[in-house]
Structure 1
Amino acid sequence: MKTFFAFLIPGGVVFLAAIGFLRPHGLPSWVQGPVQALPYIVLGFGLVFGWYLSSGRLILSLIMLAFADRAVILFPPTDPDPGSANHVIFAATTFLLPLNLMALSVIKEEAISTWRGVLRLPLVLIQPFLVLWLSLPEQASLALSLQQPLLPMLMVDWTALPQPTLLAFCGALLLIGVRFIVQKNPLDCGALWALVTSCAAFQGLHYGWSATNFLSAAGLILFLTLLQASHQQTYRDDLTGIPGKLAYEEAVANLGKKYVLAVVGIDQLKQYGNQHGKPVSEQLLRLIAQKIMAAADSGKVFRLAGEEFTILFPRKTATETLVTLEAIRKAVEQTTMYLRGRDRVWEGGGASHTGSSDEELVVTASIGLAEAGNSQSSLGLVTKIAYKALYEAKGEGGNLVKRGAITPETKKPVPAEAGRIVAYNEFENS
């Protein structure tokens, strides 16, 4: 369910809103005016935030969407002659846009102010001139290849888009879709929905829709997913993808006096790191983090640093959390990991899926917990006791949930000779 919502928000929501409201007569007349300002708002905010967040990909993508919009508006494909300049410009524009969005989603992010970012800019700015060059009569044979039928008409009679354009969109959607499934990157999800929305923009011309509205929606999707990715990078741990130190600090600021803090450690992590190297231990951490997140129930999981995970249970007692922590321990214990080659770790479902040279990695977890049962138990003390319980669990062989006991903090008495309260009149008489 989380994966579904991650896929749908925000790109799918914006696309559905565009289908519902940005078509002709989709909105009341009094809203049409503000909607006409949408392209300028998206382009302006996108360029500013793209520069501020050092996202050359967003800036170049918005420029490409703006070029596509102007090409469709200035050269509408309404001429009955398929070899006319307008049709050639439409075919070239719709063919290049998905390829550009795909390329920009795959290449490494670079700020537009870096030398790599500066080198990419001419590759985008030259494309309108390339499209105009293709529309010249001397390039008629080359231009017609962009409208060449490649599939049986029964498969594509539902669309007026040129077949090379359809193949370009399908190829881009397939590649970015696979990347999103593997990496779960919101930027890939945004590029996916931007492609779908751009395709709807061009297809909608056949029904009298405004391409500008839908291309603006595509730009809005890219802008929102950049903000989403930036938020995740700020609040989430880079290695595992789970909430990190900043998210933990915000959580403890509103924790209250009643809570349980648990620390989860992987028993064999240091051993595998020393034996097989850091990449193996990092992959194990990444895979185990997802198991802990899935089994944590009401617990909030964080990775602050190092090899342990911290779990907060607000308004819970230690007894209430034992079932969840035991479920986490079992989830890790029942996970089968294999090492393939020198540094590739993968999760197996049984011996039939393993190769002859694959090495099984036994993984278990030790968990220490402590409960803040009274107002005098500081967060530092609770954390210290939870770590002490974790180390005791590891010392007893690991694969164990251990509860630490908190003794009330007592203040040391101040010696009588250290000082006394002086009355105000003593100063007056001195």
Structure 2
Amino acid sequence: MSLTTKLSPLLSRLTYFCWLFFPPLLFFSALFSVYFFNTELFKNWLINLWWMSYVSLAIAAIIAWQFGRSRLVYACLLLFLVAANKEITLTPELLEARYSGILFSFVFLLYSRDKGFSTLNLCFSLAILLLLFVLSWLAVPALQVASQPWLTPIDSLLFQLSPEILSVITTFNMALLVGALLLGLVRLFLKTDNTHNALYFALGLSAFIHIDSDPKFGLLTIVSLASLFCYSVLKDSFTMAFKDELTDIPSRRALMQYVQTLGRKYTVVMSDIDHFKKFNDTYGHDVGDEVLKLVASKLHKITGGGKTFRFGGEEFIIVFPRKTSAEVMPFVEMVRLSIADYDIALRAKPRPPRPKKTLSRITPAKEKIVKVTTSFGVAHRTKQHPDFASIMKQADIALYAAKKGGRNCVKLAKQ
């Protein structure tokens, strides 16, 4: 296996991470740049809108509740504490406990999962969050004393670089923030989705609300985070509805929506994995699922402007807008060959467990190389078949002809 093949999943994950992470980062950077350069304008505009932080969090919590995003509901509760504490005078000890407790709580939310709102799960999650605040109140003073010898050199370095930094945030709180951000970033990279992305930004920005005592800054940040929560809920729900969970390509529902955007000229390609039921019966459904993922990934990379959807089972639909059947044939043939030429390595039997104490080298399990093939039926829009359903039926007839003609081939509909 080449280095490029090995790195491909990592590069794909990194690309998706960047597409998800950087738009909110750029948005918040631009928002805060405008805020700090036009502080007086923002103060005059926001002076009577203090209630917006509570309303926006309530709306975000209700939306998250309706969609079963329990962690975002708890995140709204944490931000509510941040907003409420701006109107309440706290002792320095309670401020430290609030700061560290919120950091720990957001890290906990990032590493946990949505468990719904049953009474047991609700009580358990709230108890964990309360425990984190209690532990912060009890343990943080001792941690500050214990870490002082390690943080003193950093204090001196920061004071030399910029004495104003230590007047804004202590070195201990800075270390807590950096540690929490690194832990959150690792989790976000491993589990990249809109919910984790929103929680990560809430983790970092809640700390900055603590650092900047200006209530207008806190109001602007909380309203923006509440909007990000709503967006993440709707975006994840859209992805669940319109993307196939197994193959990670658009689903049948997405196809039906995409059809409405097509013009008068387009081609439909129906594809089917050959002997898939026999393959499933021979090697098991787990291997069958991996084959479905493989074929879907190959079809998803088809060139020529085609868009691939999982229609159901082992069937896939490819739509080529603004192209005729003759024009798409080279692209379909290319993807057919890429699937047929791909070697799938199957382990002959499960890997034997490694003994706890042994110096002997274990012989790796033998691998069996198998191949899968796909058949294709191609049909384009004509005057006789103007609607998508009839075009797809013609593609299905052509697919049946490909199956009957020996499989692993492409057949054009007789139009």
Q: Give the structure-1-normalised TM-score.
A: 0.74
Q: Tell me the alpha carbon deviations over residues 38-96 of structure 1, each in whole angstroms, 9 at most, x when there is no partner.
A: 422430211110121122111011112222444566467xxxxxxxx51x434433333
Q: How many Å separate the matches in 2 of 1:73 and 1:228?
A: 33
Aligned CA RMSD, in angstroms, stands at 3.7
Q: Tell me the alpha carbon deviations over residues 277-303 of structure 1, each in whole angstroms, 9 at most, x when there is no partner.
A: 212222222233233222254223221
Q: Name the structure 2 match of 1:103.
A: 108
User: In percent, how many aligned pairs have the same letter?
Assistant: 23
Q: How many Å separate the matches in 1 of 2:61 and 2:51?
A: 16
Q: How many Å separate the matches in 1 of 2:48 and 2:370?
A: 59
Given the alignment of the two structures, is residue 20 of structure 1 paired with residue 25 of structure 2, yes or no? no
1:325 to 297, 321, 332: 332
Contact 2:107–2:180, Cα closer than 8 Å, also in 1: no
Contact 2:52–2:219, Cα closer than 8 Å, also in 1: no
The aligned amino acid for 1:390 is: L
Relative to structure 1, the CA distance from residue 144 to residue 193 in structure 2 (aligned partners, 3 Å threshold; closer, same or farther) is same
Write the mapping of 1:375-394 to structure 2, written as runs, cut at 5 A. 375-394=384-403
Q: How many Å separate the matches in 2 of 1:343 and 1:375?
A: 54
Secondary structure at the residue paired with 2:267? strand
The aligned amino acid for 2:142 is: S
Contact 2:304–2:328, Cα closer than 8 Å, also in 1: no
Q: How many Å separate the matches in 1 of 2:316 and 2:249?
A: 10
The aligned amino acid for 1:51 is: W
2:176 to 161, 164, 184: 164
Given the alignment of the two structures, is residue 43 of structure 1 paired with residue 51 of structure 2, yes or no? no
Given the alignment of the two structures, is residue 174 of structure 1 paired with residue 190 of structure 2, yes or no? no
Contact 1:277–1:343, Cα closer than 8 Å, also in 2: no
Q: How many Å separate the matches in 1 of 2:237 and 2:295?
A: 24
Runs of 4+ in 1 over 6 A off after TM superposition: 341-344
Write the mapping of 1:66-105 to structure 2, written as runs, cut at 5 A. 66-71=80-85, 74=88, 85-86=91-92, 88-105=93-110
Q: Tell me the alpha carbon deviations over residues 121-159 of structure 1, each in whole angstroms, 9 at most, x when there is no partner.
A: 33335655655x539xxx953664587846962898386
The aligned amino acid for 2:190 is: V
Relative to structure 1, the CA distance from residue 399 to residue 215 in structure 2 (aligned partners, 3 Å threshold; closer, same or farther) is same
Contact 1:169–1:199, Cα closer than 8 Å, also in 2: no
Q: Give the structure-2-normalised TM-score.
A: 0.76
Q: How many Å separate the matches in 1 of 2:316 and 2:47?
A: 51
Given the alignment of the two structures, is residue 275 of structure 1 paired with residue 282 of structure 2, yes or no? yes
Q: Name the structure 2 match of 1:153.
A: 154
- Structure possessing the higher radius of gyration over alpha carbons: 1
Contact 1:338–1:360, Cα closer than 8 Å, also in 2: yes
Q: Name the structure 2 match of 1:412.
A: none
Q: How many Å separate the matches in 1 of 2:226 and 2:389?
A: 46
Q: Name the structure 2 match of 1:230.
A: 237
Q: CA deviation at 1:209?
A: 8.4
Size of the aligned set, in residue pairs, is: 378
Q: CA deviation at 1:366?
A: 2.2
Q: Name the structure 2 match of 1:6.
A: 19
Q: How many Å separate the matches in 2 of 1:48 and 1:16?
A: 27
Q: Name the structure 2 match of 1:348.
A: none
The aligned amino acid for 1:39 is: S
Secondary structure at the residue paired with 1:402? strand
Q: How many Å separate the matches in 2 of 1:145 and 1:387?
A: 72
Secondary structure at the residue paired with 1:301? strand
Secondary structure at the residue paired with 2:259? helix
Given the alignment of the two structures, is residue 360 of structure 1 paired with residue 369 of structure 2, yes or no? yes
Q: CA deviation at 1:202?
A: 4.6
In terms of fraction of residues, the more helix-rich structure is: 2
Write the mapping of 1:206-225 to structure 2, written as runs, cut at 5 A. 210-225=217-232
Q: Point out where structure 1 has 5 or more consecutive residues left out of the alignment.
A: 77-84, 345-354, 407-430
Given the alignment of the two structures, is residue 197 of structure 1 paired with residue 202 of structure 2, yes or no? no
Contact 2:46–2:216, Cα closer than 8 Å, also in 1: no
